Structure 1
Amino acid sequence: MTEALTIRSLTTITELEDVRALESRVWGEEEATPVHQTLTAVKNGGLVLGAFLHEKLIGFQYSFPGFDGTCVYLCSHILAVDPAYRSMGIGAKLKYAQRQESKKKGYSYISWTYDPLESANGYLNIGKLGAVCSTYIENCYGDMNDPLNADLPSDRFVVEWASTEDTKRAQPLHTPDQMMEASLTQWTLTDQGVPSVTGIDERWLNRDVVSVAIPAAFQQMKEVSPSLALDWRMRTRRVFQTCFAKGFQVTGFMKHPEGSTPVHFYILTKKEVQK
């Protein structure tokens, strides 16, 4: 079906109204970005890309210029796909199209935030696209009331993705046993069939490579046990902040090959020291 998919830049008020309508269906009417904001962004170096299937808008990506004190980059703010068309690789196609447009506009890199406990986003952003992360923000957006974020601190990874194409990184941990052994987060299954953190094993912090287990299905966990979801949030917050302070960065994401396994893994490696 995706052979008929087309992606193009959107610049008109009518097109951006369609984007707002799709965003409302995904995130809720109250959270949808006003058209005057997206219109202003695209007129001033920003970008809105739409994914169309037989001329129907089924996904979009919205970004605007940012500045880190040294260079101008593209701040990727929202990516959404119609729920009826998810798990078809449309998000990845939008990101690659974004990278092409970013390069044309002269941006050196693209940056965005996402919830580190959302494994599908981790797999896309880190595992497939090859973005890296060494910044963790506590409660980044404050209290959020949409279905995906309600009742938990809105903690976020800040990732960076070079605008120029790069080669895929070799991952230093290859097997589930290796990832499990090197995991800073230790866990067990509850009677409800969801993973529960049993402890943090910091012995591995003197190594150059570590892994961090996270729930494979965080939203389902929230429905089964909000308290366990909050515990994962607070425990992994500490783990990632500790790792980043010690010079690690997130460079890989690996799904456990056994589909029934309730965790997946981030891979963190020590940054190379510049001489």
Structure 2
Amino acid sequence: MKKDITIKQITQLDEVKQVQQIEQLVWQMNPIPFHQTYTAVNNGGILIGAYGGDEIIGFLYSFPGFKGGDIYLCSHMLGIHPDYRTGGLGAKMKELQKDIALQMGYKLIIWTFDPLESVNTYLNLHKLGGIGGRYIENHYGKMNDVLNAGLPTDRFLVEWWIDSEHVAEPRDKSEKTNLPTDAIEYTDKGFPVIADTFDPTAGAIVPIPTQYQEIKKEDLQLAIDWRYKTRKWIQQLMADGYVAVDLTPNPEEKISLYHFEKRNTLSL
């Protein structure tokens, strides 16, 4: 039975050290040195912990960023114990991060995520109201952890304008454009394949598979094909001034659809 969950800001050194446990569990690699994390927390950073009883089950780590004269918050890592990844815990931690950041004077929070991870995308764009403002090819280079091994580490840079009208606006899935019926086929294992001739500009949409990690495990070449196809389509739209604003799940077709809008039409 799962224990009652509490979420709070972490500021004490012993709590900071506990974060390393869940970090190593999620990514199966060496955690960030606690002295670095603790220093960031005491200099404009925000560290949030989620607890099941007395056991740490999730964390969200962010530190200050500075570019072009602007100060913002870099949200670097969000990790949740596998037994607690349903129920909206990630969204709750992000909302607490937003509230604390606003109190500290931040207006913008940024982070990166894999554009082909549909669960993360739905959280970042649909639930939180972030936008995919920049597409970065192979951002981290070669990585050998369980989520990234064998693939180019392409990333979306999320912009979360936490005091904007865009974040406050509801996102209505019923008004979204659908994928053309002749654009999708399936492999013998039931994995979706999108035609090379698909045109993202027709409806400002880009499909991604719902279960990308499963495809990676069973058919690495198909996973790589999805990476390069979606990279091309997203970059094509962004070159025309579009940014990613939402994701609509289509579970019966085993895909989800990115939706893009012109940046200059958004209330950021």
TM-score between the two structures when normalised by the length of structure 2: 0.92
- The Cα offsets for residues 21-77 of structure 1, whole Å up to 9 and x where unpaired, read as 1100110133x1110110110011001100112222111000000113131000000
Residues 75 and 99 (structure 1 numbering): CA distance in 2 closer, same or farther, change over 3 Å?
Answer: same
> Among 192, 195, 198, which residue is 2:189 paired with?
192
TM superposition shift of 1:6: 1.8
TM superposition shift of 1:172: 7.7
Residue of structure 2 equivalent to 1:269: 261
Cα distance in 1 for residues equivalent to 2:172 and 2:69: 30
Cα distance in 1 for residues equivalent to 2:78 and 2:92: 11
**SS of alignment partner, residue 196 of structure 2:** strand
**SS of alignment partner, residue 37 of structure 2:** helix
TM superposition shift of 1:173: 6.2
**SS of alignment partner, residue 37 of structure 1:** helix
1:129 aligns with 2:121: no
| Contact 1:7/1:94 (8 A) holds in 2 | yes
Cα distance in 2 for residues equivalent to 1:200 and 1:36: 51
| Contact 2:73/2:109 (8 A) holds in 1 | yes
- The Cα offsets for residues 224-253 of structure 1, whole Å up to 9 and x where unpaired, read as 100000000011111111111111111111
Residue of structure 1 equivalent to 2:233: 239
**SS of alignment partner, residue 253 of structure 1:** strand
Cα distance in 2 for residues equivalent to 1:234 and 1:65: 32
Residue of structure 1 equivalent to 2:4: 4
Cα distance in 1 for residues equivalent to 2:143 and 2:183: 29
Residue of structure 1 equivalent to 2:216: 222
1:213 aligns with 2:189: no
Unaligned runs of 5+ in 2: none
TM-score between the two structures when normalised by the length of structure 1: 0.89
Unaligned runs of 5+ in 1: none
TM superposition shift of 1:13: 2.2
Residue of structure 2 equivalent to 1:22: 22
| Contact 2:115/2:156 (8 A) holds in 1 | yes
Residue of structure 2 equivalent to 1:104: 103
The count of aligned residue pairs is 264
Residues 94 and 41 (structure 1 numbering): CA distance in 2 closer, same or farther, change over 3 Å?
Answer: same
Residue of structure 2 equivalent to 1:201: 198
| Contact 1:171/1:252 (8 A) holds in 2 | no
- The Cα offsets for residues 115-146 of structure 1, whole Å up to 9 and x where unpaired, read as 00000001110111110112000011111111
- The Cα offsets for residues 193-226 of structure 1, whole Å up to 9 and x where unpaired, read as 1012322433x52x6x511110000000011100
1:91 aligns with 2:90: yes
| RMSD over equivalenced CA pairs, Å | 2.2
After TM superposition, the structure 1 stretch with the greater mean CA deviation from structure 2, 223-232 or 49-58, is 49-58
